Structure 1
Amino acid sequence: MKDVFARLASDFFSTIVFLAVYFATNNVLLATGIAIAGAIAQLVHSRIKGEMLGFMTWASLALVIVLGSATLLTHDLRFVLAKPAIAHFAIGAIMLKRGWMLRYMPPIVVQTIPEYVTLAGYAWAVLMFAIGAGTIAVAATGDIKLWATYVTLVAAGLKIAAFAIQYVLFRIIVTSRLRAAARA
């Protein structure tokens, strides 16, 4: 579990940096510049340590550098506001691959309820698309504080709630199936 959160923090490091600086300074351009610097520092750090970056980390770094640079050059906030939506759409598209979630599950879950894991994987894809669409809708209002709140609280809250619901349901279904198998 700790490893999953560490991977997520790594994948979204520059977004976290952007939001922290923005909330502290209320300056989007400064937050964008520091987020770009943080993304580059993350890349350099991983290269020095000889660590391999995952696809999502590379994608996040590329989006931060490209969209952040466009924001700084044009002073148009829409570029940086689009980054989380693009990331959620990309993640959702990846999650449409059948069985993607099986590698993240404990063996007991994979062996007992693989069909539910596959369905949950598709549900996660739908959630990512919905969060991406919500990000665009909120960004379209032009209210950066509302957008920042949505990206940090609503998007994260939905993912945490979905994870908790999935955990409880999987636990109930696995326990039920194991008990039924023991009785048979």
Structure 2
Amino acid sequence: MKFLFDLFPLILFFGVFKWGEGHEQAAHGIVQQYLGGLMTGGSVTAAVSPVILATVVGIIATALQIGYLMVQRKKVDGMLWVSAAVITIMGGATIYLHDETFIKWKPTILYWTFAAILLVYQLFKGKNLMKSVLGEAFKLPEEVWPRVCFAWIWFLFALGLLNLLMAFVIFKGNTSAWVNFKVFGATGLFFAFTVAQAFVLSKYLQEEA
């Protein structure tokens, strides 16, 4: 259930983008009517309307996530606050300048921000955030936790680079293909890396048993 909750903004972003892609004129009309005052020049081309509409929905969905947790008196995870800040800033720039470049940079900035946070806490504060997250599930020797942390740092850094490669080189000018990668490719890589790391760490659980 938490997995779906975490993916809520991404799922809505994808769904609205695909709807807008298939109903470009309708999406253009909605953007012009309700968002024209938020954009430079007050108008936008039909081609960029689907991603702008999806970006607005993504920002709103993230805000709803935070609002729901606060109403339920549950802790809002720091990663969610960071995600909200990044999508608001980069998504806001996409809407205001009606330029999809900014929203395409958003995943990379998010991945690199998380990587930087992990690195700073590990090197300068002496706190392993991955141990804080995974410590209850995996009882590992202390010397292993830094390796787990740096594995995530390198993975997030590489994923950020891959997003830029997909957005501005391989799928340059093809926003639909980039959205597909963002939703399925990047999410799939996250899942594969998590499973692979769990498999590697499972040997420590077996040794402990």
What is the TM-score with the length of structure 1 in the denominator? 0.80
Q: 2-side partners of 1:49 and 1:15: how far apart?
A: 22
Q: Which of residues 175, 178, 183 is equivalent to 2:208?
A: 178
Whether 1:113 aligns to 2:141 is yes
Q: 2-side partners of 1:53 and 1:107: how far apart?
A: 20
Which residue of 2 is the match for residue 28 of structure 1? 51
Q: Is the 8 A contact 2:10 2:183 kept in 1?
A: no
Seen in structure 2, the aligned counterparts of structure 1 residues 167 and 15 have a Cα distance that, compared at 3 Å, is same
Cα drift, residue 53 of structure 1: 1.7
Q: 1-side partners of 2:90 and 2:174: how far apart?
A: 19
- SS of residue paired to 1:115: coil
Seen in structure 2, the aligned counterparts of structure 1 residues 37 and 18 have a Cα distance that, compared at 3 Å, is same
Whether 1:38 aligns to 2:61 is yes
Relative to structure 2, which stretch is displaced further, 39-48 or 58-67?
A: 39-48
Which residue of 2 is the match for residue 129 of structure 1? 157
Q: Which of residues 136, 140, 146 is equivalent to 2:177?
A: 146
Deviations along 1:47-81, whole A, 9 cap, x unmatched? Answer: 33333322211121122222222211211001111
Q: 2-side partners of 1:35 and 1:116: how far apart?
A: 37
Relative to structure 2, which stretch is displaced further, 114-123 or 129-138?
A: 114-123
Q: Is the 8 A contact 2:108 2:161 kept in 1?
A: yes
Q: 2-side partners of 1:50 and 1:128: how far apart?
A: 30
Q: 2-side partners of 1:108 and 1:43: how far apart?
A: 26
RMSD (Å), alpha carbons:
2.3
Aligned length: 172
- SS of residue paired to 2:62: helix
Which residue of 1 is the match for residue 9 of structure 2? 14
Decide which structure has greater helix share.
Answer: 1
Q: 2-side partners of 1:121 and 1:109: how far apart?
A: 13
Q: 2-side partners of 1:34 and 1:85: how far apart?
A: 20
- SS of residue paired to 2:138: helix
Give the letter for the 2:150 counterpart.
Y
Q: Which runs of 5+ in 2 are unaligned?
A: 22-49, 123-127
Q: Is the 8 A contact 1:14 1:64 kept in 2?
A: no
What is the TM-score with the length of structure 2 in the denominator? 0.72
Q: Is the 8 A contact 1:39 1:65 kept in 2?
A: no
Deviations along 1:102-133, whole A, 9 cap, x unmatched? Answer: 122355733x4332232021111100011111
Q: Which of residues 52, 70, 86 is equivalent to 2:93?
A: 70
Q: Is the 8 A contact 1:82 1:136 kept in 2?
A: yes
The percentage of aligned residue pairs carrying the same residue is: 24
